[in-house]
């Protein structure tokens, strides 16, 4: 049977252009552009560049390179260092301008290479089909090329985690298809451009951890599709624009660590979708608006370290905030007296009310099993701790420092999963062995300084293998420093100063290579300080006012007289 001519032509087209078995191979121009990039990489411990050999960059053997099966042109370059890899995995070199010759490129991702430095090539503006440009977590320097504003198809632009300086180019207003803009963790300065208010398709905007100044543009309230907004850790000033409360789809609003002033907008309750609100470390004043109780999806509320004042809208907050899991009102100008009922009655995981002028006995939570973290430090709490942690089975972190708590440590039963214990600057007595005997093995940080604790440092301290901090200074401890401390290989902070500890400093401490702070001052220690790192690199003040310590960094030990 004769095959019709038109059918024959279709078969030929399929074989030559569609069937992957008969690909065209990669374009010579594209191959040269990729090899130009490879030539600028002077060291590659990821071993990705080792696969870039041979004539065909589109046969699947060139790691991170993808091509169009019809045209044979490179469409994607994805070079990502896995986040869980150690710091020994990186690329060292610069970005080659030849990547700008990949005219069919749609996706360019080069991220996590740590030592990839130099500037962003101006030639990248000549990639007309580019929809994603991701250069995160490298060491890129210089300014952001204004010419990137010519990439009209761009939907994702992420340059976070580099060393970029200068201002945000106003030419970004031309990127009207942009969905995600991430410039976080650089050293960008200047104001937030008004032009960003024109990016009406934007859903994700992160400018955090820069040095941006000026006010938050009012016209950002026009970005009706925005779900994520993070301007934290900058130097922004002025008031929070009420227009931001028009962002009905916003899930996350983070403005913490800035210089913002004025009051929280009264219409904050319009952000019906909001799940996280962080305004901490600013200069905000006035009352917390009652409308905040209308944020029924809010699970994380952080208003700490401002100048908010009483009264709290307690009744409204008791009824509202039905999804709340974490609350931080620490270090404002509150004079709460007691912990509000809307906090003690909710099933919360994190409660932070440090420096809120709270008094009386510690609060009783009606649903203690959900709590994982409590910070009630820098208040005026009195009474004991014997029954406080009994039903807090999920507690991992507790900070009750700088109160007036009393009682014997032996009467305290710690939750088995506790990782951080900070009870410093109270009036607690008793021995360490009784307290630590009830703790699980997960403790990573212990601060019991400035109390009235007696007894010795128990040998059983070595069971906390993950311990990074041990501070028992300013107590009434006696006995010797147990050699078993040397088993705490992760210990970075050790302070036993201002006690009555005797004997020598154990040589076993020399094996703790992580030690960055030690203090043995004002005890009754004697003998030669173990010679070697890290103990002999600390200042002499760390060993001063003991009985007879000697050796570097103190004066040399006296030689015994010859017999």
243-275, pLDDT tens digit by residue? Answer: 999 999 999 999 999 999 999 999 999 999 999
If one compares 11 and 386, the residue with the highest pLDDT of the two is: 386
Using the CB atoms, write b or e for 214-231: b if 16+ within 10 Å: eebbeebbbbeebbbbbb
What is the average per-residue pLDDT within 400-423? 94
Residue 521 has φ and ψ, to the nearest 5°, of -60, 150
What pLDDT is stored for residue 561 in this prediction?
A: 59
228-243, pLDDT tens digit by residue? Answer: 999 999 999 999 999 9
CA quadruple 62, 64, 69, 73: dihedral positive or negative?
negative
If one compares 544 and 442, the residue with the highest pLDDT of the two is: 544
Residue 326, classed as helix, strand or coil, is strand
339-348, pLDDT tens digit by residue? Answer: 999 999 999 9
21-188, CATH topology level: 3.80.10
Sort strands 300-302 and 276-278 into parallel, antiparallel or unpaired: parallel
What is the average per-residue pLDDT within 6-11? 39
What is the average per-residue pLDDT within 526-532? 94
pTM score over 0.95 = no
48 confidence band (pLDDT: 50, 70, 90): very high
Q: Do residues 381 and 359 make contact, with C-beta atoms less than 8 angstroms apart?
A: yes
Cis, bond preceding 311 (omega within 30 deg of 0): yes
DSSP class of residue 327 equals E
124-165, pLDDT tens digit by residue? Answer: 999 999 999 999 999 999 999 999 999 999 999 999 999 999
What pLDDT is stored for residue 441 in this prediction?
A: 84
Query: How many Å apart are CA 368 and CA 387, to the nearest integer?
Result: 12
CA-based radius of gyration for the chain:
31
What is the average per-residue pLDDT within 332-357? 96
- The secondary structure of 351-396 as a DSSP string is EE-TTS-BEESPP--SSGGG--EEE--SSEEEE--TTTTTT-TT--
Q: Mark residue 456 as left, alpha or beta (left: phi above 0; alpha: psi -120 to 50; beta: remaining).
A: beta
What's the mean per-residue pLDDT of the chain?
93
Residue 542 has φ and ψ, to the nearest 5°, of -70, -15
* Run of H or E residues at 447: strand 445-447
What pLDDT is stored for residue 562 in this prediction?
A: 56
Q: What share of the chain is helix, strand, coil (3-state, %, to 5)?
A: 20, 25, 55
Position 540 pLDDT exceeds 80 = yes
What is the average per-residue pLDDT within 406-424? 93
Residue 9, classed as helix, strand or coil, is helix
Sort strands 41-44 and 91-94 into parallel, antiparallel or unpaired: antiparallel
Query: How many Å apart are CA 225 and CA 243, to the nearest integer?
Result: 14
Distances (CA, A) of 359 to 263, 364, 382, 395: 27, 13, 7, 22
Distances (CA, A) of 57 to 41, 42, 98, 100: 18, 20, 15, 17
Would you give the distance in Å from CA 317 to the centre of its chain? 29
């Amino acid at each position: 049977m004769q095959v019709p001519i038109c059918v024959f032509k279709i078969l030929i087209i399929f074989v030559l252009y569609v069937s992957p078995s008969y690909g065209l191979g990669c374009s010579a121009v594209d191959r040269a552009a990729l090899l130009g990039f490879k030539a600028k990489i002077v060291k590659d411990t990821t071993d990705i560049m080792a696969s870039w050999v041979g004539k065909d960059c589109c046969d699947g053997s060139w790691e991170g390179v993808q091509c169009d099966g019809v045209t044979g042109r490179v469409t994607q370059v994805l070079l990502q260092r896995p986040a869980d890899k150690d710091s020994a995995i990186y690329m060292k070199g610069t970005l080659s301008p030849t990547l700008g010759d990949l005219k069919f490129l749609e996706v360019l991702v080069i991220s996590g290479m740590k030592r990839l430095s130099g500037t962003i090539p101006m030639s990248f503006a000549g990639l007309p089909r580019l929809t994603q440009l991701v250069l995160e977590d490298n060491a890129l320097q210089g300014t952001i090329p204004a010419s990137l504003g010519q990439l009209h198809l761009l939907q994702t632009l992420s340059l976070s985690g580099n060393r970029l300086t200068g201002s945000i180019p106003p030419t970004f207003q031309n990127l009207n298809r942009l969905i995600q803009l991430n410039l976080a963790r650089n050293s960008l300065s200047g104001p937030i451009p008004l032009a960003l208010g024109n990016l009406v398709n934007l859903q994700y905007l992160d400018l955090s951890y820069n040095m941006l100044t000026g006010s938050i543009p009012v016209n950002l309230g026009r970005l009706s599709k925005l779900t994520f907004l993070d301007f934290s850790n900058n130097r922004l000033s002025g008031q929070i624009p009420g227009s931001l409360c028009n962002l009905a789809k916003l899930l996350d609003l983070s403005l913490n660590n800035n210089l913002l002033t004025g009051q929280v907008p009264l219409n904050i309750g319009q952000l019906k979708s909001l799940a996280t609100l962080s305004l901490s470390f600013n200069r905000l004043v006035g009352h917390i608006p009652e409308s905040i109780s209308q944020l029924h999806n809010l699970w994380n509320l952080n208003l700490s370290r401002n100048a908010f004042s009483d009264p709290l809208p307690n009744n409204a907050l008791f009824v509202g905030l039905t999804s709340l899991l974490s609350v931080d009102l620490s270090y404002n100008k509150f004079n709460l007296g007691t912990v509000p009922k809307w906090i003690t009655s909710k099933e919360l995981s994190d409660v932070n009310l440090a420096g809120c002028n709270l008094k009386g006995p510690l609060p009783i939570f009606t649903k203690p099993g959900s709590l994982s973290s409590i910070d009630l430090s820098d208040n005026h709490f009195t009474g004991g701790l014997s029954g406080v942690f009994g039903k807090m089975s999920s507690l991992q972190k507790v900070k009750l420092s700088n109160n007036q708590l009393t009682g014997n440590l032996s009467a305290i039963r710690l939750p088995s999963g506790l990782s951080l214990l900070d009870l410093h600057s109270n009036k607690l007595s008793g021995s360490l062995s009784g307290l630590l005997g009830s703790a699980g093995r997960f403790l990573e940080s212990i601060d019991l300084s400035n109390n009235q604790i007696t007894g010795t440092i128990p040998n059983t301290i070595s069971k906390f293998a993950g311990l990074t901090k041990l501070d028992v200074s300013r107590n009434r401890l006696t006995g010797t420093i147990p050699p078993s401390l040397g088993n705490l290989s992760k210990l970075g902070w050790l302070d036993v100063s201002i006690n009555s500890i005797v004997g020598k400093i154990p040589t076993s401490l020399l094996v703790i290579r992580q030690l960055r702070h030690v203090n043995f001052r004002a005890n009754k220690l004697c003998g030669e300080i173990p010679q070697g790192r890290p103990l002999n690199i600390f200042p002499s003040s760390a060993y001063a006012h003991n009985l007879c310590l000697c050796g570097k960094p103190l004066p040399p030990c006296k030689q015994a007289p010859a017999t």
